[in-house]
Structure 1
Amino acid sequence: MDSQMKLEFEKSKLGDKDERYEAYHNILKATDQVVDWAYDVWNQLIEDLTHKDPHQRSRAAQYLANLAKSDPEMRILKDLPKLWEVTKDEKFVTARHSLQSIWKVGIAGSPQKEMVMTFMVDRFKNGTDEKNYTLIRNDILQNMRYLYEHFNDEQIKQTAMDLIDTVDDKKYNKKYKDIWK
């Protein structure tokens, strides 16, 4: 990892509000591509998933999701349950930002995609007791849409449609179907 990227991670944690925001975007932009330094920050990010600051938890989750494509050792398969926990964070905005980025783990490869899909299907089916579950379901279906667009895998679309068909509320059934138009 070069010194500039180290500085971005430092600013992401310790900078003022504007510096943290700029560093956050710079890190996400850098990790949109495969990088060779993922393991330089991996363990710290795993640790930060349980940081006392919800912003740190959210950023760590989003960075890890982006870094999954730079993970030839497939550590994410072992660490995904820890990352998934942040999608259920007590701070809803932290949970939602984490959930909205989880699909990026799935584009790292077939085992990652299968694991992410399993987690999302289970949450869709069994998460109706959660606060804001209709938004969570919306995010899950949007994640599936992104995975479908990436892989062009009809099974992903069929899974989403099957889940939508279980929704009795006409308003949400229509809203969820609109994601797939």
Structure 2
Amino acid sequence: MDPEIKQHFEELEAEVKTVQYEAFQALLQVTKSEVTWAYEVWDELVKGLSSTNNHTRSRCAQLLSQLAISDPEKRILVDFPKLWAVTKDPKFVTARHSLQSIWRVGLAGEEQKEMVMDHLAARFEQCSEEKNGTLIRSDILQSLRYLYEEVKQQEIKERALLLIDFVDDAKYQKKYRAIWK
């Protein structure tokens, strides 16, 4: 692993929050593309999904979601339930950051894309009674939009529009459709 990347991972544990933030932003940037060192940090990131620190859980979920494109062994298929669990974290901000990034797993391949879409669709249908359910639905539709923009597969758009039709409230249907304009 490149020494600079290694340093960024070390700085995630720094006492100074700005150092942590800058390291995290640098890692998010570099993991937007395929990297060769994903498995050097993979197990530690999976372990971090169950950390007692909500910031660690959030960072690990976001980084793991982005590293899915650097996962030729398809480990994400096994580790996905642990990653998905963070999207329902007791700390809403942690859950939301995880949910907003999980679409990136779908960029790793067809199997991963189907898994992500199935999970997002099921959550969309079930979250209406959750606190912040409309916000969760909005995040899910935005995630599907991002995935669609990256892979340009019509089935993603069609599935999102079906989810919008699932909503009874016309006000929210209109709001959700605006995401797909």
TM value normalised by structure 2: 0.98
Which 4+ runs in 1 deviate beyond 4 A?
Answer: none
Q: Which runs of 5+ in 2 are unaligned?
A: none
Partner-residue secondary structure (3-state), 2:166:
coil
Partner-residue secondary structure (3-state), 1:102:
helix
Q: Which runs of 5+ in 1 are unaligned?
A: none
Question: Among the aligned pairs, what percent are the same residue?
Answer: 56
Q: Which residue of 2 aligns with 1:82?
A: 82
Partner-residue secondary structure (3-state), 2:89:
coil
Letter of the structure 2 residue corresponding to residue 173 of structure 1: Q
Matched, 1:121 2:121: yes
Residue 80 of structure 1 deviates from its aligned partner by 0.8
Letter of the structure 1 residue corresponding to residue 28 of structure 2: L
Q: Which residue of 1 aligns with 2:7?
A: 7
Residue 129 of structure 1 deviates from its aligned partner by 2.1
Measured in 1, the distance between the counterparts of 2:33 and 2:167 equals: 37
Letter of the structure 2 residue corresponding to residue 46 of structure 1: V
Q: Which residue of 2 aligns with 1:22?
A: 22
How many residue pairs align between the two structures?
A: 181
Q: Which residue of 1 aligns with 2:165?
A: 165
Pairing of 1:7-156 with structure 2 (within 5 A) = 7-156=7-156
Measured in 2, the distance between the counterparts of 1:128 and 1:148 equals: 24
Measured in 1, the distance between the counterparts of 2:39 and 2:6 equals: 13
Residue 2 of structure 1 deviates from its aligned partner by 1.5
- Single out whichever of 106-115 and 166-175 deviates more from structure 2: 166-175
Residue 95 of structure 1 deviates from its aligned partner by 0.3
Measured in 2, the distance between the counterparts of 1:62 and 1:9 equals: 13
Measured in 2, the distance between the counterparts of 1:14 and 1:87 equals: 25
